């Protein structure tokens, strides 16, 4: 039984459906991948060894790969060597769990001090590992089915009932629940009846060394964009939840109003199809054609950090029109680069964007509302003011702070785990 009142020596991170080694912006790779990679690396810098378990999607992947010194990614064979839809993954959880338990069994007893599961699929595995190893289970949901279904994009597919049930089981069993924002904590309490004593809010961070202000002219030159262009950028997975179509409709509305010079307008869409977006992978390109704006829209594949920072710097405004975000890492990265953000007034975006200070929050998804917001942001004076506020606001978030608070949550979970087991032993 775990009794430590110190940082853990070794942590098992579970990320069944996506690997921190994957490029964010396509498939199922996104902010969660960045979160795991950043916090795991910083935990290792603090002397905590980390093993990340994720499902192998190719036979060419090595069984173990180093993400950073002290951080190993273990590719678990569970099902076919291919990318599976998340609705297909529950059938592979037994195989995944068996491999995780086998890895621990090949080491000395007490090899892992704690399990931290990310997303509900991993939580199901973590629940069993916690009971087998006698260690605390910390869980981060990242997104919640009941929240997503309450703010479903038009035409999108609801999350299945089996996910809601699975999430509820994990919420009930975890020793600690780490929420990204106070709103998410409220959803855990109100929608899932979580134990308030188990819920801790830890804001994710941003890489303040990689995402920094820089020359807009140089960034535009690197992307082949004219210095005097008006540039709106969307960065993220192409799926209904992220609502990149909202930017296209808003751009078409601006042009219809005559409020912007067509010859100078550039709309950047950076990312790849994901989730239900895979059902119609060219739907966004076809929408641009149908709206008559294909000539001003440029589609770019997902980009690594340094190239992504150049996109943020090149943009006048980064648009985040999601129907729901547990946090909104793209908005934070853009602001760290000094670029104002226009974001939907939902979920974690209310934390990430300081309305009127670092960007604007838009209360809905209509083309008229978004065209109005972008019209306001055509003011150079307003953009300059918001740019300064964006940099200040982003500096309040760092992955170092996130990691320190996360380790603190681990220690509190260990105390709670010990107390529960002591009471159980006394009762028996």
Please report, in range form, the residues annotated as the binding site for UDP-N-acetyl-alpha-D-glucosamine: 23-24, 31, 237, 242, 325, 333
Strands 64-68 and 71-76, by their bridges, are: antiparallel
Q: How crowded is residue 35: how many other Cβ atoms within 10 Å of its Cβ?
A: 23
DSSP 413-427: HHHHHHHHHHHHHHH
Binding site, by residue number, is 17, 23-24, 28-33, 86, 119, 143, 163, 237, 242, 312-313, 315, 325, 333, 339
C-alpha dist (Å) from residue 426 to 58, 106, 403, 417, 422 = 49, 32, 35, 14, 6
Strands 64-68 and 176-179, by their bridges, are: unpaired
Retrieve residue 367's tokens: 């083309």
Q: How many whole angstroms separate alpha carbon 53 and alpha carbon 120? A: 14
Residue in 306, 328, 298 with CA at minimum distance from that of residue 214: 306
Residue in 315, 319, 299, 316 with CA at minimum distance from that of residue 250: 319
CA 343, 346, 351, 352: dihedral to nearest 10 degrees? -30
Q: How many whole angstroms separate alpha carbon 234 and alpha carbon 318? A: 6
Binding site for 1D-myo-inositol 3-phosphate, by residue number, is 17, 28-33, 86, 119, 143, 163
Binding site for Mg(2+), by residue number, is 312-313, 315, 339
DSSP 290-304: HTT-GGGEEEE----
Residue in 229, 234, 202 with CA at minimum distance from that of residue 216: 229
Return the DSSP state at 208: T
Q: Which residue has the tokens 């975006």?
A: 349
């Amino acid at each position: 039984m775990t009794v430590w009142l110190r940082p853990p020596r070794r942590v098992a991170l579970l990320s069944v459906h996506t690997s921190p080694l994957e490029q964010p912006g396509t498939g199922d790779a996104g902010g969660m991948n960045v979160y795991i990679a950043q916090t795991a690396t910083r935990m290792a810098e603090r002397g905590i060894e980390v093993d990340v378990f994720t499902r192998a999607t190719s036979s060419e992947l090595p069984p173990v790969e180093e993400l950073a010194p002290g951080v190993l990614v273990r590719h678990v064979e569970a099902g076919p060597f291919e990318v599976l839809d998340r609705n297909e993954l529950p059938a592979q959880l037994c195989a995944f769990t068996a491999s995780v338990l086998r890895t621990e069994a090949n080491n000395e007893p007490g090899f892992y001090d704690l399990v931290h599961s990310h997303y509900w699929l991993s939580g199901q595995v973590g629940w069993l590992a916690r009971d087998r190893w006698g260690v605390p289970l910390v869980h981060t949901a990242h997104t919640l089915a009941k929240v997503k279904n309450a703010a479903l994009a038009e035409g999108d597919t609801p999350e299945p009932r089996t996910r809601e049930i699975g999430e509820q089981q994990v919420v009930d069993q975890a020793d600690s629940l780490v929420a990204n924002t106070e709103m998410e904590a409220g959803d855990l309490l109100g929608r899932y009846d979580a134990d308030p004593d188990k819920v801790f809010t830890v804001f994710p961070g941003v890489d303040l060394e990689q995402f920094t202000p820089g020359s807009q002219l140089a960034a535009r030159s690197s992307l082949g964009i004219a210095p005097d262009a008006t540039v709106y950028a969307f960065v993220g997975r192409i799926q209904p939840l992220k609502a990149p179509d909202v930017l296209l409709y808003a751009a078409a509305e601006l042009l219809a109003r005559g409020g912007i010079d067509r010859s100078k307008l550039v709309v950047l869409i950076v990312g790849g199809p994901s989730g239900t977006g895979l059902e119609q992978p060219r739907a966004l390109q076809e929408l641009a054609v149908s709206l008559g704006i294909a000539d001003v829209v440029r589609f770019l594949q997902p980009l690594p950090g340094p190239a992504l920072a150049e996109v943020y710097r090149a943009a006048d405004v980064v648009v985040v029109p999601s129907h729901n975000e547990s946090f909104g890492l793209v908005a934070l990265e853009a602001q760290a680069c000094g670029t104002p953000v226009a974001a939907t007034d939902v979920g974690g975006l209310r934390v990430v964007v300081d309305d009127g200070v670092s960007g604007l929050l838009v209360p809905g998804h209509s083309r008229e509302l978004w065209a109005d917001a972008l019209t306001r942001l055509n003011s150079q004076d307003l953009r300059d003011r918001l740019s300064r506020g964006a940099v200040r606001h982003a500096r309040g978030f760092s992955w170092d702070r996130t990691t320190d608070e996360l380790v603190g949550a681990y220690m509190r979970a260990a105390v709670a785990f010990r107390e529960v087991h002591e009471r159980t032993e006394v009762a028996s």
